[in-house]
Structure 1
């Protein structure tokens, strides 16, 4: 006698403990040979379904020894058990266990996906099997569009797709009418006649009579066995590859299944995506606003001259106003102008508010006394007229250069104001020129609301003192601005004998501003990221619900050969699809918001990095928050999953 294909020795399956202990199987010994048609009959609760689950490696016995083709099942890990189910068994369930959101052909293809068959080959084979089973032209129909008998034929085709040696049919006629039952039993006989091993579970003696060998089970024990009838020829499998699917195949199939799942629950999908969309859009918009604000502030400061050194009176750390400390003089400025790498050292003395008058028209503005080198240091030209000259400064001439805001408030025709006179402190000043417009700073200061006069004239007629508020030093080569700063510091220390001044360069100021703006952008991004975090929690919750709703689907996939890693990849990919879709929509909305804000005048800077960062964060959110549901799905027990409602 040949070796049995299935061999069970003293199989026990016990549920519960103590008084609640139930012995579903109690010392079962059974051999099934290749090519047999075996019917296992018993009443409800007799243990026949438990025996079927153990035969199909969906469940493990509490004790005893079970061999499949000579391999001890208890020594196989979960992936090896999945491979065994995929290559050796084909399952036909009482309730069909078809996935409702995919077509009949795709249901048939399911085991072949996990067997690594190519998409074209498995589709062709699925259609071929459906045609042979009398379902020609029904491959595109979903299970809900088929009758019960047709759905069971789809289940049979699914059991045959991998060309396994053994067909396990668990109450396959239980949900069918008499006509469909007869057709199915005839089909099983044909499969048996072709050489396949059939194990049929039933409670109906008439169904059992169609088998060659009947085994009766009661209270977990075999009470009758007709005895093995070994056929002369048995089916030899070998059509299917025994390899596992590639990672690309797993991911591509998971992506398709993810979109089907999302389409099946559009409203829930929209709510799930909403959290991710809001988070991503907020990140994109907030970072664009922060970057735009930073660039605007930096541009304003850079427009003042990125090559400037500033000297203010008073020892380092002094909080007093610069114009109240008499330490900087015009002689200091003349000495600074002699340093190497210095384009211009410009003295400055200002008055926070003074009144200019033209006829009966008065206007209050700030008055600043500077030298003729001011335009070179500030890189600012004139719109009309000219700047005052070195001779004007030496001779303390009463001339003034106005900003466009001041000129516009004093004169009806700004262009014609050059050569006219304005009165400052009761003294007439001739308008030498009008500065080009600069506009307002990011903090709202109008840079055109200013009047410039020669520093010497201001000291004599306006300010009433000969010391300076500050000195601006424009350097030629910014690469050595630090050395120039040290030279200026040494010079002033030598002249004053003490460090009664404060010296900073524009680069250090810009660095401080940039640090502040970066912190501001980080704050905006962090606040926006909270929305993304909330969206991620929503993804996890929905995925956990999805696992609960699709427990039976997971069981079907495991029964047809899916490994734990296959289930894990499927649900992780679904979470990634949710995150990816939310990322794409969120980035689009965020960019749209940025464009709208830019149109209304807000400073916005759109770059690829925030969009890429936000999209990547959405994917990471899907991955991180999808892992727990995916892990839960992959660790489900196949038997419990199949029994789930």
Structure 2
């Protein structure tokens, strides 16, 4: 608005200081403002002039809602804003004020256009709208070809013009310029003052804080400050009028969940830019999370693999088994102990709930095929052994009850014996001498491998128990009997019945009854405990990584204090700062989680190729990544809270 068109009636006060004071450091501290009363009308161009330490910057900070008075009231458009909470003051700054700083206060990780957009982000305006507004303003200020450049690629005058564009992006009606030409040469300074004159001509209220008389002369009104008091109020800029009584409209932004999603998305983009600015610090931050996630996946894969291997070995030994051995407890069950007979076995076979029963009698014997001899363990068994011991055939067939009754001279070889006696040949139907007795090979057992005790389970030959008694073993007694119970819930009942039957027959406990259940539970529990231990160690490493993230981010908050102040000056609320730094922590931990998952799965595959028992399933990866995400959320809270609680004035003064 020009002086020629000014109304003779002065505009009502836009800003009123009513006996405002500001003290620092308690009762014995410093008084920066002392009972200041003044008013500024809408549309005025006012210069606040004073030497360094006079209180002019404190006055501007209170005027711009960056600081609060210790006493008195500040009214804007008649509203007392002195008692507004932090977020309400931030919203007011975002809607009504535009700041132009001496040191420009641009974020070096953002382009010129992105710096201009910042207040519009905190106003909740849609991304496309704020991009158009930023480019329009940069074009108006002659920087359309520099919109994608970062501040380090711009001259001082260009940076200050970007700062002015940022102040205007939300159509602020009050422009606060703090020493706007202090860091510029004469030509660039004159250009900035011309821009401020142009904005004043449009009807905006311009308040310049300066110690330079030349700059102050551009204002129609000059308020001089000394020792915290107004000592002079010179000139009278009467260009403000009722015609400019309404603030320039600021388009309403989004609200509710849509606004929150937009805030998070914007914070995410800024977070990844911040991470890219300092790649070394980002790498160190990621490292702890990567190691933690990879450790969780690799160790749980080892633990799960070990548990599966244990369960597999238990299954190979047979489940729900009860073994009865000859001899009283404490006496070794040697072959010459005769406390278990075929009559006992037949009596035990009548027990209800048995899936299989097989007596056993062992004898080491020498086998011969042609000129090849081999000594191994011969076991006389019943056909139920395959079911009781969960064994399979690789070739041929197993002997039957008829073979037991007919004393058939047949034999089933373990894989190791078959490989030694018939290397590269099919042993089925061939003759083997056991001692001097010929046996026909009718089957070969499927390989079982080495047991947990180091015994080769394939180094064995099986023959019908009756044939063993008659041809090899001599006396008709057995060294043990294996009973498989159909239902694991019947194990205790069956064991009691075995004891009752044998005691009734022997009248003495010259036998031992052992159940596989206890051993299975112990082995399974031990392996589970081992897996939990590995998982706990890995989880601890993930927590340590999270603490590292928190520590580095706390340091980062200190390093970025000025950036936080700039964001707050442009309208960032506590929530906006919390979201920004929490999203950065989550981004770090999420990225570390992705890398850690890849590293952990790769390590698990490598360990499996080295021969370790490793089980790779999706759950550990999902769990580890989720933990990394939660780690970012939990350990990012403290740095975010520290950042959000900063004082805008002190933050802007840092650096």
TM-score over 0.5 (shorter chain): yes
Return the offset for 1:580.
Answer: 0.5
User: What's 1:551 paired with?
Assistant: 561
User: What's 2:304 paired with?
Assistant: 291
User: What's 1:440 paired with?
Assistant: 449
Change over 3 Å in CA distance of 1:384–1:15 after alignment to 2: closer
User: What's 1:562 paired with?
Assistant: 572
User: What's 1:223 paired with?
Assistant: 231
User: What's 1:369 paired with?
Assistant: 380
**CA offsets, 1:357-408, max 9 Å, x none?**
5677554433333113323444534445543444554566665432121233
User: What's 1:486 paired with?
Assistant: 493
State the SS of the aligned residue for 1:415. coil
User: What's 1:527 paired with?
Assistant: 537
1:50 to 47, 50, 58: 58
Alignment check: 8 A CA contact 2:112 2:146 kept? yes
More moved, 92-101 vs 511-520: 511-520
Matching of residue 598 in structure 1 with residue 608 in structure 2: yes
Matching of residue 7 in structure 1 with residue 7 in structure 2: no
Matching of residue 41 in structure 1 with residue 53 in structure 2: no
The separation in 1 between residues aligned to 2:293 and 2:182, in whole angstroms, is 51
**CA offsets, 1:543-565, max 9 Å, x none?**
11211111100000000110111
Return the offset for 1:12.
Answer: 1.6
Alignment check: 8 A CA contact 1:349 1:368 kept? yes
The separation in 2 between residues aligned to 1:326 and 1:118, in whole angstroms, is 92
Change over 3 Å in CA distance of 1:133–1:359 after alignment to 2: same
State the SS of the aligned residue for 1:140. coil
List aligned pairs for 1:626-637, cutoff 5 A.
Answer: 626-637=636-647
State the SS of the aligned residue for 2:42. coil
RMSD: 2.9
State the SS of the aligned residue for 1:568. helix
User: What's 2:204 paired with?
Assistant: 196
State the SS of the aligned residue for 1:226. strand
The separation in 2 between residues aligned to 1:224 and 1:447, in whole angstroms, is 105
User: What's 1:641 paired with?
Assistant: 651
Change over 3 Å in CA distance of 1:314–1:522 after alignment to 2: farther
Return the offset for 1:343.
Answer: 4.0
Alignment check: 8 A CA contact 1:292 1:604 kept? yes
The separation in 1 between residues aligned to 2:350 and 2:51, in whole angstroms, is 112
Alignment check: 8 A CA contact 1:383 1:433 kept? no
Return the offset for 1:18.
Answer: 6.2
Alignment check: 8 A CA contact 1:162 1:239 kept? yes
State the SS of the aligned residue for 2:161. helix
User: What's 1:115 paired with?
Assistant: 123
Return the offset for 1:539.
Answer: 1.0
The separation in 1 between residues aligned to 2:235 and 2:333, in whole angstroms, is 112
1:609 to 619, 629, 651: 619
**CA offsets, 1:162-206, max 9 Å, x none?**
112211111111011111111111111111111111111000111
Matching of residue 586 in structure 1 with residue 603 in structure 2: no
User: What's 1:241 paired with?
Assistant: 252
More moved, 342-351 vs 542-551: 342-351
State the SS of the aligned residue for 2:120. helix
State the SS of the aligned residue for 1:64. strand
Matching of residue 16 in structure 1 with residue 28 in structure 2: no
Return the offset for 1:636.
Answer: 1.0
Alignment check: 8 A CA contact 1:274 1:582 kept? yes
User: What's 1:256 paired with?
Assistant: 269
User: What's 2:188 paired with?
Assistant: 180
Alignment check: 8 A CA contact 1:485 1:505 kept? no
Alignment check: 8 A CA contact 1:323 1:349 kept? no
Change over 3 Å in CA distance of 1:314–1:392 after alignment to 2: closer
List aligned pairs for 1:65-464, cutoff 5 A.
Answer: 65-226=73-234, 229-230=237-238, 231-232=240-241, 233-234=243-244, 236-241=247-252, 246-306=259-319, 308-313=320-325, 321-322=332-333, 328-350=340-362, 356=367, 361-384=372-395, 386-390=397-401, 392-394=403-405, 399-412=410-423, 415-416=426-427, 418-424=429-435, 428=437, 430-441=439-450, 443=452, 444-456=454-466, 458=468
User: What's 2:583 paired with?
Assistant: 573
The separation in 2 between residues aligned to 1:394 and 1:72, in whole angstroms, is 109
The separation in 1 between residues aligned to 2:520 and 2:234, in whole angstroms, is 94
Change over 3 Å in CA distance of 1:197–1:435 after alignment to 2: same
Q: For structure 1, list consecutive stretches of 5 or more residues without a partner in the other structure.
A: none
Alignment check: 8 A CA contact 1:356 1:422 kept? yes
**CA offsets, 1:146-170, max 9 Å, x none?**
1111110110011111112211111
Return the offset for 1:412.
Answer: 4.5
The separation in 2 between residues aligned to 1:414 and 1:373, in whole angstroms, is 28
Alignment check: 8 A CA contact 2:126 2:254 kept? no
The separation in 2 between residues aligned to 1:14 and 1:505, in whole angstroms, is 82
The separation in 2 between residues aligned to 1:442 and 1:77, in whole angstroms, is 73
State the SS of the aligned residue for 2:249. coil
The separation in 2 between residues aligned to 1:176 and 1:133, in whole angstroms, is 17
User: What's 1:538 paired with?
Assistant: 548
More moved, 533-542 vs 36-45: 533-542
The separation in 2 between residues aligned to 1:314 and 1:378, in whole angstroms, is 19
Change over 3 Å in CA distance of 1:642–1:474 after alignment to 2: same
Change over 3 Å in CA distance of 1:122–1:448 after alignment to 2: same
The separation in 1 between residues aligned to 2:652 and 2:121, in whole angstroms, is 20
Q: For structure 2, list consecutive stretches of 5 or more residues without a partner in the other structure.
A: 1-9
The separation in 1 between residues aligned to 2:182 and 2:340, in whole angstroms, is 104
Return the offset for 1:537.
Answer: 2.0
The separation in 2 between residues aligned to 1:255 and 1:167, in whole angstroms, is 30
User: What's 1:31 paired with?
Assistant: 39
Return the offset for 1:644.
Answer: 0.6
**CA offsets, 1:415-451, max 9 Å, x none?**
2475423344xx5352433423323157354321112
